Structure 1
Amino acid sequence: MAYSYRFAIWVFFLLSLSTFLCPSAATTRKLTALVKQQPLVLKYHKGPLLAGNVTVNLVWYGRFSPKQRSILVDFLQSLSSVHRRSPQPTVASWWHTIAGYTGKPCTVAVGNQILQESYSLGKTLTKEKLAVLAAKGWKGGKTTAVNVVLTDGDVAVEGFCMSRCGNHASSRGGSAYAWVGNPGKQCPGQCAWPFHQPIYGPQTPPLVSPNGDVGIDGMVINLATVLAGTVTNPFNNGYFQGPAGAGLEAVSACTGIFGKGAYPGYPGEVVLDKTTGASYNAVGIRGRKYLLPAMWDPKTSTCKTLV
């Protein structure tokens, strides 16, 4: 039941260098001699979704600095924060699209945080070891929870940088869990684009990361992708298109799109911080800025961007 979403760049360029991954983007860039694509539709397979109040428990595997942890925790807490009269798009407004899947708002709260700085299972992790680590985040008391394992840049994970930047799955007991790795040292060109030069396709200049850490800002993109997939397709019978366990999901269906007008090698129109030169499209708590991927909107059957 494991799900490995495609790389943001690997899929984006290998599918085609002359058209968009997401059909909705075709409305922003007309190319001649192309057959009009059918709208992308994620089919609902009648399985349970994670709606209502969802607790995210974190297992930090490796030596993350306090600043790195705060960037990721602030992102999660921003998903359900209230920003009244915000002049810019917020992280919460990005997450609000999830309600179109679940039928009611889905709030996210950060629960247990377990530090595994001693590399208790070594620096090479298999899928089975990830499941063991994920179980450490569960302490009971919450019926709807997702345990997320976050691995540091010096931890090699099965499939990491080869076929995935993260994944979500479920245990035999029916608990949903996920994993996301830090690509800063191992594969920034695969799992931290557009903050690093891609290893495939057009070599456009990378964007400046909003929090000054290419690996962590790349993790935000991948965590957003995995978490949205976990909520809308926790047991491989929710919303997806394609084969179960390897299909396109809420965010992976819009791979490589961050703003309007996106095309291969270009993430789309985003906001530029005039002081730092960083690129972003959403503001979270404490004024922290993030770049979040487009999410497929079930109400419009399009890849919805914030800007």
Structure 2
Amino acid sequence: MASNYKTALALALSALLLLLLPLLTVGALVEEQPLVLKYHNGPLLKGRITVNLVWYGSFTPIQRSIIIDFISSLNSPKEALPSAATWWRTTNNYKGGSSTLVPGKQYLNPGYTLGKNLKDRDLLALASKFKDVNSITLVLTAKDVTVDRFCMNRCGTHGSVQNVRTGSQTAYVWVGNSEAQCPGYCAWPFHKPIYGPQTPPLVAPNGDVGVDGMIINLATLLAGTVTNPFNNGYFEGSPEAPVEAGSACTGVFGSGAYPGYPGRVLVDKASGASYNANGANGRRFLVPAMWDPQTSTCKTLV
């Protein structure tokens, strides 16, 4: 009886394995498939796009110049390679041609007229300061300004505001300075991460952990904005929490990156600062990898 039982059990296990094997094989194949951002047939931002800036709170002239230089760098082909302009040209591989970003008007609000604790409705009010055609309104909040869910599950966001009179929509981006609130979350790898391996942080290329961290998040959101401005462009997942051109490659800055390690990047011999993109006025930046629709991979500069 025992022998028959063992034989029957062995046969049953063998049959079960044969049933599971195709499922295991399919699962392995699914995991190896590259990420593909689906195009949802909506408009993308193409052509010459003006980036108007709203500075909410206290920013120094140097901090403002770093961010403006970054925007200018996206349309500055003369810089040495690897360059921010080369990084931005990956957006040209998305349907509809090229996009050229140029700095536009500025609105300074150093007096915190809406207070220092902002809600989403406050961001929309600030984003409504400009409603130019073919533009993006960039709302930047200072290091002492809190925003709903900032540092909890987001470092910035993008969306659109509607012109009640014309019915047209204007895209906007919000990014916060995390230096005093959560640099380990929103300014990594220029600060030790909140979670995971406590590897030494990289040296910020412009000497400002908060603003250099803002550049990373701004780059991510600008890429998402031009390729998915109104929640019907390129993305994967739900429209409420989409995986987009920049966010598809979170944490990847150079080749060989893995969770907790940004990848191989360039290091300035004199200052020790890490970067992967040259920019306007001698600036250097660290920009995230961007998903390339031509290869369905996260494309890095180095």
2:183, 2:223 → 1: CA distance?
Answer: 22
Identity of matched residues, %: 63
* Aligned residue type for 1:279: S
1:76 paired residue among 60, 71, 74: 71
2:213, 2:130 → 1: CA distance?
Answer: 23
Alpha-carbon offset, residue 35 of structure 1: 8.2
1:175, 1:289 → 2: CA distance?
Answer: 30
Aligned to 1:115: 108
Which structure has greater helix proportion? 2
Question: Aligned to 2:241, what secondary structure does the other structure show?
Answer: coil
Give matches, 1:219-238, under 5 Å: 219-238=214-233
Aligned to 1:181: 176
1:100 paired residue among 68, 93, 101: 93
1:156 paired residue among 134, 141, 146: 146
Tell me if 1:39 matches 2:34: yes
* Aligned residue type for 2:113: S
Alpha-carbon offset, residue 137 of structure 1: 3.0
Task: Check 1:61–1:34 CA distance in 2 against 1; reply closer, same or farther (3 A cut).
Answer: same
The TM-score normalised by the length of structure 2 is 0.87
Q: Is the 8 A contact 2:184 2:191 kept in 1?
A: yes
Aligned residues: 270
Q: Is the 8 A contact 2:199 2:260 kept in 1?
A: yes
Aligned to 1:194: 189
* Aligned residue type for 2:141: T
Tell me if 1:146 matches 2:136: yes
Q: Is the 8 A contact 1:51 1:102 kept in 2?
A: no
* Aligned residue type for 1:145: S
2:238, 2:185 → 1: CA distance?
Answer: 23
Task: Check 1:299–1:159 CA distance in 2 against 1; reply closer, same or farther (3 A cut).
Answer: same
Q: Is the 8 A contact 2:44 2:96 kept in 1?
A: no
2:194, 2:54 → 1: CA distance?
Answer: 30
1:136, 1:112 → 2: CA distance?
Answer: 10
Q: Which has the higher contact order (CA 8 A, sep 6+)?
A: 1
Question: Aligned to 1:250, what secondary structure does the other structure show?
Answer: coil
- Following TM superposition, where does structure 1 have runs of at least 4 consecutive aligned residues deviating by more than 3 angstroms? 33-36
Give matches, 1:45-60, under 5 Å: 45-60=40-55
* Aligned residue type for 1:114: Y
Alpha-carbon offset, residue 88 of structure 1: 2.5
Aligned to 1:286: 281
Task: Check 1:240–1:35 CA distance in 2 against 1; reply closer, same or farther (3 A cut).
Answer: closer
1:35, 1:299 → 2: CA distance?
Answer: 20
Give matches, 1:158-173, under 5 Å: 158-173=148-163
* Aligned residue type for 1:52: G
2:215, 2:54 → 1: CA distance?
Answer: 15
The TM-score normalised by the length of structure 1 is 0.86
1:270 paired residue among 262, 265, 288: 265
Q: Is the 8 A contact 1:50 1:102 kept in 2?
A: no
1:296, 1:38 → 2: CA distance?
Answer: 14
Cα deviation digits, residues 133-187 of structure 1 (max 9, x gap): 111134xxx4201101000000000110011000001113311111000000000
1:34, 1:208 → 2: CA distance?
Answer: 39
* Aligned residue type for 1:94: W
Unaligned runs of 5+ in 1: 1-32
CA RMSD of aligned residues (A): 1.4
* Aligned residue type for 2:107: I
2:232, 2:108 → 1: CA distance?
Answer: 32
Aligned to 1:21: none
Question: Aligned to 1:150, what secondary structure does the other structure show?
Answer: strand
